[in-house]
Amino acid sequence: MSRGGREGRASFGATELPAEQADALRRARRLEWVSLAYLSTGIVVVFLVMGSSQAMKVAWVEDLLSLVPPVVFLVSSRLAGRPPSPEHPYGHHRAVASAHLVAAAALFAMGVFMVLDSGMGLVKAEHPPIGTFHLVGQTIWAGWLMIAAMVYTGIGPVILGHLKKPLSQALHDKVLYADSEMNAADWRTAAAAIVGILGIGIGWWWADAVAALLIAASVVGDGVKGIGNALRDLMDGEARTHDDREVHPLVNAVLTAARGPAWVGEAGVRVRDQGHLLHTEVFVVPTAPVDVADLEALAASIRDLDWKLHDVAVVPVTRLPDAVRSTPV
């Protein structure tokens, strides 16, 4: 967590966070460290019991990939806290989108590899054996250990994902949201692997490879979605919500505020996502003479709308530029 010049104050660059967001950042960091610890134990457990099951192997690789978003979040949130400098006049907020792209690309690449690997197992009609072991005089099918491992790796991340989701909204952090979605969906990976293991147990050799393909396809889908969302932000697309489902409501709020003063005839806005913060440009066509104080007052009123509105610039023009948002979404 960055310090905004005073002990106990968190900031993203030059923007000091409100108490709610500062608390959310601290909680998110703690949850990510807990996630790394829990996922690491799950990786060890699955590795010890996975045997020759293709579904278990793919689930194990996905567990390894699950370490990427927490690490990326912890690193990017630190970088985003650095203040602006002459070399980085806009701050380091793009670290979030860059980290989002790195995590998504890793998911996609590994997902494609797993699809090909699992597909080859299905084409070759491989019959993965699941052996037995002896415990206190009883012969036990090893598949039960595999299923127990999948239950262990499926329950914890779901809980962690639901805890992270509201924090991702509070911080407007897309890396944290992607991580929460990946965690919350881990039960599907566990369920698919369990079905594959049970399939082997009843003689359906193909069930293991099919389950592995389903898991791998899910990883590829997460990667494709993440790459698209990260690239849109890096290419200065219009600001969207933390889950990328719609244009951010602050775009309309800024436009409404820009039209407020009596001296404003027309107004248009350009709002882009820089990470946790939104870079905001407001263009106004005055109907009466204005001075610097009027422009600064309008900029201040817009900044006061929300902590995320960063680096607000109000520009008087004779006509609105092309491709600005001049009507509500």
Cα dist. 194→41, 191, 201, 212, 300 in Å?
Answer: 19, 5, 11, 11, 56
The kind and range of the H/E element at 137 are none
Output the pLDDT for position 262.
93
Closest by CA position to 26, among listed 171, 165, 161: 171
Output the pLDDT for position 186.
75
Closest by CA position to 281, among listed 292, 294, 293, 295: 295
Radius of gyration of the chain from its Cα atoms, rounded to whole angstroms: 25
Each residue's pLDDT tens digit, 151-209? 998 888 889 999 999 999 999 998 898 888 888 777 777 787 788 788 877 777 677 77
Cα dist. 141→130, 160, 189, 303 in Å?
Answer: 8, 31, 22, 63
The answer to whether residues 168 and 181 touch, using CB atoms and an 8 Å cutoff, is no
User: Where do we find the tokens 């805890």?
Assistant: 163
The separation between CA 241 and the C-alpha centre of its own chain, rounded to angstroms, equals 12
Return all residues near 184 (Cβ < 8 A) that are at least 6 apart. 157, 158, 161, 162, 165
The answer to whether residues 1 and 76 touch, using CB atoms and an 8 Å cutoff, is no
pLDDT of 6 > 70? The answer is: no
Mean pLDDT (whole number) for 285-299: 94
Return all residues near 253 (Cβ < 8 A) that are at least 6 apart. 305, 306
Q: How far apart are CA 251 and CA 183, in angstroms?
A: 30
pTM of the model: 0.83
Share of the chain above pLDDT 70, in %: 92
The separation between CA 265 and the C-alpha centre of its own chain, rounded to angstroms, equals 40
Give SS3 for 266.
strand
- The first and second tokens of residue 252, run together, are 């309309």
Q: 249-316: which CATH number, 1.10.3720.10, 3.30.70.1350, 3.40.605.10, 3.30.1180.20?
A: 3.30.70.1350
Main-chain phi, psi angles of 257, to 5 degrees: -65, -35
Q: How far apart are CA 46 and CA 152, in angstroms?
A: 9
Return the domain boundaries, the chain. Answer: 11-234, 249-316
CATH class held by domain 11-234: mainly alpha
75 CB neighbour count, 10 Å cutoff: 14
- The first and second tokens of residue 290, run together, are 């204005």
Output the pLDDT for position 1.
38
Mean pLDDT (whole number) for 243-247: 90
User: Where do we find the tokens 């027309």?
Assistant: 266
The whole-chain average pLDDT of the chain stands at: 85
Alpha helix stretches (DSSP H) within 185-275: 186-201, 205-234, 249-258
Alpha helix stretches (DSSP H) within the chain: 19-49, 54-65, 68-80, 95-123, 142-171, 174-184, 186-201, 205-234, 249-258, 292-303
151 CB neighbour count, 10 Å cutoff: 14
The answer to whether residues 174 and 229 touch, using CB atoms and an 8 Å cutoff, is yes
Mean pLDDT (whole number) for 90-95: 84
Output the pLDDT for position 124.
67
Classify the C-alpha dihedral 302-306-309-310 as positive or negative. Answer: positive
Each residue's pLDDT tens digit, 51-61? 777 777 777 88
Cα dist. 44→40, 54, 61, 150, 271 in Å?
Answer: 6, 17, 11, 12, 45
